[in-house]
């Protein structure tokens, strides 16, 4: 048969390892990536000309980052690599791309989506002020540009990334004034049996926390955020929160906030993949089998874009999905048992993390009516409560939550929690915002050329 | 307030100059527009639906909070656009002229 046309979307850990497997079997995949350089977010490469070493950029994961980057450098002339390119639609067996206004559409026999993740954020009063960033953003600023997001930085939210990024800031010489975790400390103890599924990763996490304590950073658990105070012109000036029955206020000029991650599933949605509700993370995820197949023939999913299992799992699930794809197409068969086991183990660990650092949905249900829910268009929590709808897409048609610049990435999950609590419905009854093309804003001229 | 962002390393790079709202701003080769602008200022643009200034949010091309404009009205995502010497940037959207309305 003719060589199969395989497209990989994303050049993070999942996409790179998948490409490596395909190339080893003589397939030349198209690898489309929105980034200027490979690595994705977690193994993001600094610009050419920057000189910091791998240890300072990636810490305990330096060897993995180096191996991934070197692997990709070795693949470049064996793949059709398209960096700086957005896939903005998938329809009728084609992906539609836009690279700086140059539009293209490509047919595929098999499509592997390694679309990664973005921060899951909980709205807080005042989070629209300049100086509030997502946790992932604060890490990108340091890793890729060698800057701190402020002179007095507070990290607030929950999850392993909170402690990881705070420790990276301390090591780089930034002034971290506090790390505020909404999760109660005992949740970690309860989750310990599942966290022991990955003892090495667990140990790294414990060491990070100890390093922060030793550096004198204020660490607090069981926190309930109250308000980010500031000025419309100059931005953030302090943060108010409750902990231990008291109200605290910390002066700061930057807040990095996040509660784990959420998969970027818009392309899986446009490819018509089925979704299921995941009660542990309270998110809708694309259905994926133990080998990386979606519900649609010829469409495969790997990495954090399918479900949040972390970078190490992304490498394994990328390899696994690529092997499955080759086997399904009759190109090459291989034993996938060990990779399947590895991914299953990461899944057990991830469940432990979700239980240790839970998404505080009850805090979101409690937010005051005047808190901004949609940062793009200034829609408030109260407007969501008053909307004449009980389903996410219908609510969006009325109040535009999910229709602004970010297309629901940073308001969709919290909006659903507000609506569920206001209607006294289970969160899954609210549904999920459907992915729409273009998945990110493109200029009108580009869309018209294609119409 | 001076710059919102503070540089922690990689400060030996050659400098470039850009113009933001008519004012010269010094940046470094390899900076994104966002880092260039927030190393000397507090914000990137004004919100359309509120009184506050905005300085971006996600830094990974997902939230679109960091749009700025070129002199000829082109829209740039400041977090993912590298600076170029002599670049002219506007923090507000230039007047739009619709093709069929002159």
Q: How far is CA A65 from CA A41, A53, A331, in A?
A: 11, 11, 29
- pLDDT over 90, % of chain A: 96
CB contact under 8 A, B64 and A410: no
Question: How is chain B split into domains, by residue range?
Answer: 15-92
Selection from B76, B78, B28 nearest residue A47 by Cα: B28
| Per-residue pLDDT at A299 | 98
pLDDT for A225 equals 98
Helices (H), A83-198: 135-145, 160-171, 186-195
Is residue A374 predicted with pLDDT exceeding 80?
A: yes
List, for residues A234-243, the tens digit of each pLDDT value. Answer: 999 999 999 9
- Cα–Cα nearest to B4, from B55, B77, B58: B55
* Candidates A147, A237, A258, partner chain B, best to mutate (most B CBs within 10 A): A147
Q: Which of A12, A145, A252, A439 to mutate against chain B (most B CBs within 10 Å)?
A: A145
Question: In the Cβ-directed half-sphere of A299, how many Cα atoms lie within 13 Å?
Answer: 25
| CB contact A149 to B (< 8 Å) | yes
Q: What DSSP string describes A42-98?
A: TTPPPPTT----HHHHHGGGHHHHHHHHHHHHHHGGGSEEE-S-EEEEEETTEEEEE
Residue B31 touches partner A, C-beta closer than 8 Å: yes
Band the pLDDT of A451: cuts 50, 70, 90: very low
Chain B residue at shortest CA distance from A379 = B49
Residue from the list A46, A119, A130 with its beta carbon closest to the beta carbon of B58: A119
pLDDT band at A1 (very low <50, low <70, confident <90, very high): low
Cβ of residue A234 closer than 8 Å to a chain B Cβ: yes
Q: What is the pLDDT of residues A139-177, one digit of tens each?
A: 999 999 999 999 999 999 999 999 999 999 999 999 999
Substitution target in A35, A88, A139, A141 with the highest count of B β-carbons within 10 Å is A141
Residue of B55, B68, B70, B84 best to disrupt the A interface, most CBs of A under 10 A: B55
Q: Which domains does chain A have, with CATH numbers?
A: 6-118+262-352 (3.50.50.60), 121-259 (3.50.50.60), 362-430 (1.10.10)
Put simply, the answer to whether A150 touches B35 (Cβ < 8 Å) is no
Q: What is the pLDDT of residues A61-90, one digit of tens each?
A: 999 999 999 999 999 999 999 999 999 999
Shortest CA distance to A87 belongs to which of A271, A321, A318, A241? Answer: A271
pLDDT at site B100: 57
Q: Which residue of B has its CA nearest to A252?
A: B4
Under a CB-based contact definition with an 8 Å cutoff, are residues A345 and A197 in contact?
yes
Assess A375–B contact: CB distance below 8 Å, yes or no: yes
CB-CB under 8 Å, B35 with A141: yes
Q: How far is B33 from chain A (nearest CA, A)?
A: 11
Mean pLDDT score of chain A, rounded to an integer? Answer: 96
What pLDDT score does A101 carry?
87
- Find, in chain A, the residue whose alpha carbon is nearest to that of B38: A149
Which CATH number does B15-92 carry? Answer: 3.10.20.740
SS3 A232: coil
Instruction: Give yes or no for a contact between B60 and A118, defined as CB atoms under 8 angstroms apart.
Output: yes
CA nearest neighbour of A33 among B36, B56, B80: B80
Q: Is A275 on the interface with B (CB under 8 A)?
A: no
Residues of B in contact with A41 (CB under 8 A): 60
pLDDT in tens, B43-69: 999 999 999 999 999 999 999 999 999
* A285 touches A306 (CB < 8 A): yes
Smallest CA-to-CA distance from B25 within A95, A127, B34, A362 is with B34
Kindly report the CA angle at A62 between A60 and A67, in degrees rounded to 5? 135
A375/B57 touch (CB, cutoff 8 Å), yes or no: yes
Show residues of chain A in contact with B63, CB under 8 Å. Answer: 134, 375-376, 405-406, 409-410
Chain B, nearest residue to A174 by Cα: B8
Question: How many C-beta atoms surround the C-beta of residue B85 within 10 A?
Answer: 11
Residue A393 has pLDDT above 70, yes or no: yes
- For residues A108 and A4, the answer to whether their CB atoms sit within 8 Å is no
Contacts of A254 in chain B (CB under 8 A): 4
Q: Map residue A324 onto helix, strand or coil.
A: helix
pLDDT at B101 over 70: no
pLDDT above 90 (res A412): yes
Predicted TM-score (pTM) of this structure:
0.96
Average pLDDT over residues A327-334: 92
What's the gap in Å between the CA of B19 and the closest CA on chain A?
A: 20
């Amino acid at each position: 048969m003719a060589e199969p046309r395989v497209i990989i979307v994303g050049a993070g850990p999942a996409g790179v390892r998948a490409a490596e497997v395909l190339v080893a079997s003589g397939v030349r995949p198209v690898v489309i990536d929105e980034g200027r350089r490979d690595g994705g977010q977690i193994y993001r490469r600094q610009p050419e000309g920057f000189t910091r070493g791998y240890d300072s950029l990636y810490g305990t994961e330096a060897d993995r980052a180096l191996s991934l980057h070197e692997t990709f450098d070795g693949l470049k002339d064996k793949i059709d690599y398209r960096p700086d390119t957005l896939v903005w639609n998938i329809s009728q067996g084609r992906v539609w791309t836009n690279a700086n206004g140059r539009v293209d559409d490509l047919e595929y026999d098999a499509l592997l989506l390694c679309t990664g993740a973005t921060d899951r954020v909980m709205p807080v009063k005042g989070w629209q002020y300049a100086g509030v960033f997502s946790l992932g953003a604060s890490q990108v600023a340091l890793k890729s540009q060698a800057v701190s997001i402020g002179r007095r930085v507070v990290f607030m939210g929950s999850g392993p990334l909170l402690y990881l990024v705070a420790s990276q800031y301390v090591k780089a010489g930034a002034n971290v004034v506090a790390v505020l975790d909404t999760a109660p400390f005992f949740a970690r103890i309860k989750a310990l049996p599942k966290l022991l599924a990955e003892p090495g990763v667990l140990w790294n996490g414990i060491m990070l926390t100890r390093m922060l304590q030793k550096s004198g950073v204020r660490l607090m658990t069981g926190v309930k955020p109250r308000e980010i105070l500031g000025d419309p012109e100059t931005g953030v000036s302090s943060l108010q929160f409750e902990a231990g029955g008291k109200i605290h206020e910390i002066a700061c000029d930057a807040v990095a906030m996040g509660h784990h991650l959420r998969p970027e599933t818009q392309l899986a949605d446009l490819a018509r993949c089925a979704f299921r509700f995941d009660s542990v993370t309270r998110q809708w995820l694309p259905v994926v089998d133990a080998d990386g197949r979606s519900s649609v023939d010829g469409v495969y999913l790997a990495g954090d874009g399918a479900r949040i299992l972390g970078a190490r799992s992304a490498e394994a699930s990328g390899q696994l999905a690529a092997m499955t794809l080759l086997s399904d197409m009759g190109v090459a068969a291989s034993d996938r048992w060990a990779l399947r086991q590895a991914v299953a183990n990461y899944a057990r660990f991830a469940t432990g993390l979700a239980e240790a650092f839970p998404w505080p949905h009850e805090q979101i249900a409690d937010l005051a009516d005047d808190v901004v829910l949609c940062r793009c268009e200034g829609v408030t929590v109260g407007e969501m409560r008053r909307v004449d709808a009980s389903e996410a897409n219908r609510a969006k048609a009325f109040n535009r939550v999910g229709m602004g610049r970010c297309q629901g990435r940073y308001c969709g999950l919290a909006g659903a929690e507000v609506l569920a609590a206001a209607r006294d419905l289970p969160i899954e009854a609210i549904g999920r915002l459907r992915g729409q093309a273009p998945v990110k804003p493109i200029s009108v001229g580009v869309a018209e050329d294609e119409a | 307030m001076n710059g919102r962002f503070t540089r922690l390393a990689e400060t030996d790079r050659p400098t470039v100059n850009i113009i933001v709202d008519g004012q010269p701003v010094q940046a470094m080769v390899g900076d994104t527009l966002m880092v260039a602008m927030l190393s000397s200022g507090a914000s990137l643009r004004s919100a359309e639906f509120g009184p506050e200034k905005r300085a971006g949010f996600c830094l990974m091309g997902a939230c679109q909070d960091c749009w700025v404009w070129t002199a000829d009205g082109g829209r740039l995502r400041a977090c993912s656009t590298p600076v170029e010497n002599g670049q002219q940037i506007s923090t507000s959207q230039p007047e739009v002229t619709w093709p069929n309305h002159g």
